[in-house]
A and B are shown apart, each in its own frame.
Chain A
Amino acid sequence: KNEVEQSPQNLTAQEGEFITINCSYSVGISALHWLQQHPGGGIVSLFMLSSGKKKHGRLIATINIQEKHSSLHITASHPRDSAVYICAVNEGGADGLTFGKGTHLIIQP
């Protein structure tokens, strides 16, 4: 079973700061997902990565397959970025996702 670890568990930052959330996993994967969950809300898929780097607006996700590590970066953070960010991995498609416990991010104005 893949072990997915996220750090930090909690992060409070000021508006405008550059944010980094890390994810490591123990077993080789076919894809890694970054998800966002607002308080009391549903889960939204931000990125799916199998290699390299992806960018969407102020969000950037990278993955290093050899090191079994991924990072999610937020540039010019804003209070609306406050949410739980969840890393999840897929080992081969059919058997579901294994999740990290999430990083609770608060961006203060």
Chain B
Amino acid sequence: NAGVTQTPKFQVLKTGQSMTLQCAQDMNHEYMSWYRQDPGMGLRLIHYSVGAGITDQGEVPNGYNVSRSTTEDFPLRLLSAAPSQTSVYFCASSTTGGYGYTFGSGTRLTVV
């Protein structure tokens, strides 16, 4: 049982490049979410999904796009990377109602 799998673990991008952070879970959780973690700021919600075909914005959605075509996958797209998006990104899944969160191992992204 893999839980939540995030790829890649590390990535360096140039300003203006685009990329997709992958997130997959095998627990049949309806709810998935993306967070970014910055020093002194704590974790902040970027986007979330309560099921396939349904997504919504969190606290810091600008510059990011998501889709949820299947229950298992919830990719996060950076449309045009900026240095301000340098951060550690975590994907999480949970049961309906937001209980019992499981986090991925994180993606450390540097935008230069």
Asked if A71 is an interface residue, CB under 8 A from chain B, the answer is: no
We find that the number of chain A residues with CB closer than 8 angstroms to chain B is: 25
Asked if B74 is an interface residue, CB under 8 A from chain A, the answer is: no
Residue in B41, B101, B104 whose CB lies within 8 Å of A101 = B41
Q: Which 5 A-B residue pairs are closest in the complex by CB-CB distance?
A: A93-B98, A93-B97, A96-B45, A43-B103, A42-B105
Number of A-B contacts (CB under 8 A): 70
Within 8 A of A (CB), among B24-66: 31, 33, 35, 40-45, 48, 50, 56, 58-59
Interface residues on B, range: 20 to 34
Contact A42 B100 (CB under 8 A): no
Digitize B100-112: 1 where CB-to-A-CB distance is under 8 Å, 0 elsewhere: 1111111000000
Report if A99-B44 is in contact (Cβ < 8 Å); known contacts: A43-B90, A45-B102.
yes
